[in-house]
Amino acid sequence: MDDTGKAFKPLDPLLHSELRLAVMSILLSVPEADFVFLKAQTGATSGNLSVQIDKLQQAGYIEVNKGFKGKMPQTLCRITEKGRSAFEAYVEALRSYLP
């Protein structure tokens, strides 16, 4: 607690990463997004984005479907209800840090 008696809520460390937070923010605003779109929007490298998507998927925050579009591989990501709730809780916790 600080000197005003206000407790700071803990921030979800999974969402506190800049790239994972960016991915979640994008997925909140679209029904689904493919890897190429997420890479372009975030400016991340393929390797880093892939690792962060895997972490979000393992936490159950996003669903990942791999398939093909024509002959090209395609990875589609969609936020889950658990991910939406975690994001909302993260934003609420972040508000506890603001005056």
Q: What's the pLDDT score for residue 6?
A: 66
Q: CA-CA distances (angstroms) from residue 5 to 8, 11, 21, 89, 92?
A: 10, 19, 29, 21, 18
pLDDT per residue as tens digits for the range 31-45:
999 999 999 999 999
Whether residue 83 contacts residue 2, with contact meaning beta carbons closer than 8 Å, is answered with no
Q: What's the pLDDT score for residue 2?
A: 45
Q: CA-CA distances (angstroms) from residue 32 to 35, 41, 90?
A: 10, 14, 21
Percent of the chain with pLDDT over 70: 94
Residue 65 to residue 4: CA distance in whole angstroms? 47
pLDDT per residue as tens digits for the range 49-86:
999 999 999 999 999 999 998 999 999 999 999 999 99
pTM, entire model: 0.88
**Which of 77, 98, 95, 97 is CA-nearest to residue 24?**
77
Q: What's the pLDDT score for residue 7?
A: 79
Q: What are phi and psi of 69, to 5 degrees?
A: -120, 100
Q: What's the pLDDT score for residue 33?
A: 98
Which domains, ranges and CATH numbers included, belong to the chain? 18-93 (1.10.10.10)
Q: What are phi and psi of 43, to 5 degrees?
A: 75, 15
Q: What's the pLDDT score for residue 5?
A: 55
Q: What's the pLDDT score for residue 1?
A: 45
